[in-house]
Amino acid sequence: MKTLKFFKKYTLQSLIAPLFKMLEATFELLVPLVIAQIVDIGITNQDNNFIYSRAALLFLFAILGFGCTFIAQYFSAKVAVNYSGDLREHSFKHIQSLSFEQFDKKSPSTLIANLTNDITQIQNGLNLALRLLLRSPIIVFGAFIMATTIDKEVSLTFLITIITLLIIVFSVMLFSIPLYQKVQNKLDNVLNLTRENLTGVRVIRAFNQQKKEKETFKNTNGQLTASQLFVGKVTALFNPFTYLIINIGIILVIKQGAIKINIGTLSSGQVLALYNYMSQILIELIKMANLTIQITKALASLKRIENILTFETKKETGTINELTDSETIISFNDVSFRFFDSNQNSLSNLNFNIKKGNKVGIIGPTGSGKSTLINLLCNFYQPTEGVIKLAGSNIQNYLSKAINKYISLVPQKAVLFKGDIRSNLLWGNDKANKKDMQEALHLANCDFIYQKDGLDTIVLQNGTNFSGGQKQRLTIARALISKSEILILDDSFSALDYATEKKLRQTINSLEYNPTVIIISQRISSISHCDQILLLDDGKLVGNDSHQNLLKNNLLYQEIYKSQIKESAYE
């Protein structure tokens, strides 16, 4: 198991906790014998000195037991917290290194649940296991051995009771593990639905679908509740059955003890000791029952974490670190692509070249594959067929950091991170100085930040304190500050008015370092100035020419143009 390798450095500390719990259990097992001596010798003979000496011994056992418990609790908590912290950190790093194909197989809500709820369950299970996994069996079997030294016949009652309870404990454990896995899966469904509703709350209200979504959530939450109730009912029967069997055992011990006292084979103190040992077994088996439930939850969660860690990370296969001087900066040769869960290609047989320094527009109906093409160009996904070349070399032969260095992407959805303007701009270039930042902000028409605190302006999570247009301009500034060879704008003007968009386009077209600019847009007005326009339809390249030539010769382009004639008139 991949999760076990993080436990190796805590091996020594993890042995300390059960070791001291074993010592504490030893002291606890001696207590009934001392009490029996007090009754049979001290009280029977009215020997106060003997009673005081044994009371002092009991006090010593209590102090030593407290010390052992304190040390055991400390180390078990330390190991559990540190191990779960390491596991969470490694899982997060592992998730960060997954390919986009792997991300498509797991929803963000599931991954969040894995990093929070699942690892918390593992932490709680490990903490209890280190303290009780050895202590409880030692008490149970130790009490049985002690009972055997007092009376072998009565000890058979102990043995039958212990075996019966162990059968119940392990049966419930084996039955519960798959049930808890189902509960966690149902919890994932609730988290996914919650996330979907929170992110799409405006759309839900715009279409007046609140009632429908409430009903959907009610059904999904009802399935989770039903699963939890079923598991709860199963585990709820655990303690009553345990108490029932133990109490029957206690009654039998007392009855057998009473008979043996009458015939003189056992003393009152010995019967009291047998009763105490049976009570100890009761307490420890109840603890074992709760431990079993918690370990069952932890094992189910551990399996989910193992499932994540078995996902293969994106391996660095490239060796090229620098772009060669090539007239053709980008080349698609018979490129096709399909997603892992699809039988149809999202892109089919794409063939085109882009010259260095050109301004290229990509347009097409919704779902035509524009953003998918960009994902391939950024090497987020690998083509199912064909080759993508960057400056004459297969893009997969480049180091990831080289691709990140030479390609700057402004994604379709403007994403800002919690912090300030300065920290967000540093994502584009971690070596940028104040002058670089101010220049990028000015180029992206972000002068509005100076009405606040400038570069120190606070950015809330997801940039919720900025409008859609402001967020788009800030993400453009973040891309411009890197001064990359290739600048990709994936529908990055959608929230801007025409005047602001036109100003930004003019600024980008006149950049001193003359990058190759690729603009994905729904608007012809946003790309009509480009040197080259790629027209996509249903994943196929159906046009590759200038605006004027496409307008003359391409029916689909003409249809798009006519549908946007008012926008074109503005231009």
Q: Using one digit for the tens of pLDDT, what is the confidence trace for 524-565?
A: 888 998 999 999 999 999 999 999 999 999 999 999 898 886
Question: At residue 403, does pLDDT exceed 70?
Answer: yes
Q: In this predicted structure, what is the pLDDT of residue 566?
A: 52
3-state secondary structure (DSSP) of residue 433: coil
CB 191 within 8 A of CB 109: yes
Question: At residue 390, does pLDDT exceed 90?
Answer: yes
Note the pLDDT tens digit of each residue in 346-374. 999 999 999 999 999 999 988 899 989 99
Nearest to 279 by CA among 365, 158, 171, 166: 158
Q: In this predicted structure, what is the pLDDT of residue 127?
A: 92
Greater pLDDT, 235 or 279: 279
Note the pLDDT tens digit of each residue in 404-440. 889 999 988 888 999 999 999 999 988 999 999 999 9
Note the pLDDT tens digit of each residue in 205-225. 777 788 888 888 899 999 989
- Establish how many alpha carbons lie within 13 A of residue 430's alpha carbon, considering only the half-sphere containing its beta carbon: 2
Average pLDDT of every residue of the chain:
87
Q: In this predicted structure, what is the pLDDT of residue 9?
A: 87
Least reliable range by pLDDT among 282-291, 330-339, 484-493: 282-291
Q: In this predicted structure, what is the pLDDT of residue 515?
A: 93
Query: Backbone phi, then psi, for 529, in 5-degree steps?
Result: -80, -10
CB 486 within 8 A of CB 516: yes
User: Which residues are bridge partners to 534 per DSSP?
Assistant: 362, 544
CA separation, residue 471 to residues 361, 419, 475 (Å): 22, 14, 6
Q: Which residues contact 318 (CB under 8 A, 6 or more apart)?
A: 396, 397, 398, 399, 400, 402
Least reliable range by pLDDT among 133-142, 170-179, 205-214: 170-179
CA separation, residue 175 to residues 146, 180, 426 (Å): 33, 9, 52
Question: At residue 570, does pLDDT exceed 60?
Answer: no
* pLDDT over 70, % of the chain: 98
Residues 65 and 71: their CA atoms lie apart, in Å, by 10
| Element of type H or E holding 329 | strand 328-337
Which domains does the chain show, CATH number per domain? 2-309 (1.20.1560.10), 358-368+405-570 (3.40.50.300)
* pLDDT over 90, % of the chain: 34
Question: At residue 567, does pLDDT exceed 60?
Answer: no
Question: At residue 569, does pLDDT exceed 50?
Answer: no
DSSP strand E in 59-122: where?
A: none
DSSP state of 391: T
| Orientation of helix 48-96 relative to helix 11-37, angle to 10° | 160
Q: In this predicted structure, what is the pLDDT of residue 568?
A: 45
Average pLDDT over every residue of 86-114: 84
Note the pLDDT tens digit of each residue in 32-80. 989 988 988 888 888 889 989 989 999 999 999 999 999 999 999 999 9
| Orientation of helix 48-96 relative to helix 268-309, angle to 10° | 10
Q: In this predicted structure, what is the pLDDT of residue 27?
A: 92
Q: In this predicted structure, what is the pLDDT of residue 571?
A: 45
